[in-house]
Amino acid sequence: MRSANPVLTRLDDVGRTERQVLGLGAAETMTVADVVSRTVGLLVLTGVTAVAAWVVVPPAIWISAALVGSSLASLALVLVISLRQITSPPVIAAYAVLQGLLLGVASRAFEMVYPGIVAQAVIGTFGVFLGMALLYRARVVRATPRLARLVVGTLLGIVALGLVNLVAYLLTGRQALEAYNLTGQVGWLPWVFSVVAIIAGAFSFILDFDLVERSVRAGLPRRYAWFCAFGLLVGLIFLYWQILRLLSYARR
């Protein structure tokens, strides 16, 4: 079964091949604790960088262009790490730092217009994550092939439509599926788009938890714990952005 998170989709095949070639022992294989510790470390790095960017980076007219550039650079880095299954801690840490800069500057802009919105988005993001973890732990929601296909298709569609919408906005100034300004009314399409994205992002964690658990049982090399942690970080950041945007719609 594949994960809905594109970062983790090829983990099974790559790990199985590497394990057969190297013949790893139990002491060299990853554990759930390895994934948890690395995920927490990446979250701390992202958070510290975001706080630093919030405090240090001055508001300026070039910030919008910098945000667009950072977003595209982050997407490119995600694709490179995902497709090449990079497990190097420095490379993955570089993504966390880049996202931290982006989160800090953009979140401050939202906070200036809507005080308290960042704390609400952070609480909402981790609330959804923990809620899905509990549902998975209790086996209330199971990772099935049908769920995987549905979430994979939805997330790929969201990313593709989001990129098309961003290009259209940069070329024409028109906003359809996502609102890039921080004030003014929004139509029903951005609301629906954000809600669908949040639901898809939430259910992707079910599939990711399942893949991590099965990968541990299969004895993947320990360095792949970094890869799993990176995938979970990508999912959390995606969910944060969607919740932050939806909250801004609600407060306009």
The 10s digit of each residue's pLDDT in 9-63 is 556 555 556 655 555 555 578 899 999 999 999 999 999 999 999 988 876 655 6
Alpha-helical (H) ranges within 138-187 are: 145-172
Instruction: Give residue for tokens 């706080």.
Output: 51
Q: How many CA atoms lie within 13 A of 101 on its CB side?
A: 17
- What angle (nearest 5°) sits at the alpha carbon of residue 138, between those of residues 235 and 152? 35
User: Would you say residue 3 has pLDDT above 60?
Assistant: no
pLDDT band at 181 (very low <50, low <70, confident <90, very high): confident
pLDDT of residue 177: 79
Which of 98-112, 210-224, 238-252 is predicted least confidently?
210-224
User: Would you say residue 236 has pLDDT above 90?
Assistant: yes
pLDDT of residue 11: 60
pLDDT of residue 70: 63
Q: What pTM did the predictor assign? A: 0.86
Q: Are 165 and 175 spatial neighbours (Cβ–Cβ below 8 Å)?
A: yes
User: Would you say residue 246 has pLDDT above 80?
Assistant: yes
Question: What residues does each domain of the chain span?
Answer: 6-16+27-250
pLDDT band at 199 (very low <50, low <70, confident <90, very high): very high
User: Would you say residue 111 has pLDDT above 60?
Assistant: yes
- Distant-in-sequence, close-in-space partners of 245: CB < 8 Å, separation ≥ 6: 178, 179, 190, 194
Q: Are 7 and 78 spatial neighbours (Cβ–Cβ below 8 Å)?
A: yes
β-strand partners of 221: 29
pLDDT band at 1 (very low <50, low <70, confident <90, very high): very low
Burial class (CB in 10 A: 0-12, 13-18, 19+), 219: middle
pLDDT of residue 13: 59
User: Would you say residue 216 has pLDDT above 80?
Assistant: yes
Closest CA to 121 of 6, 252, 248: 248
β-strand partners of 29: 221
Beta carbons within 10 angstroms of residue 206's beta carbon: 23
The 10s digit of each residue's pLDDT in 62-95 is 566 666 666 667 777 777 776 677 778 898 998 9
Q: Are 198 and 13 spatial neighbours (Cβ–Cβ below 8 Å)?
A: no
Beta carbons within 10 angstroms of residue 227's beta carbon: 28
Between 183 and 216, the higher pLDDT residue? 216
Between 151 and 124, the higher pLDDT residue? 124
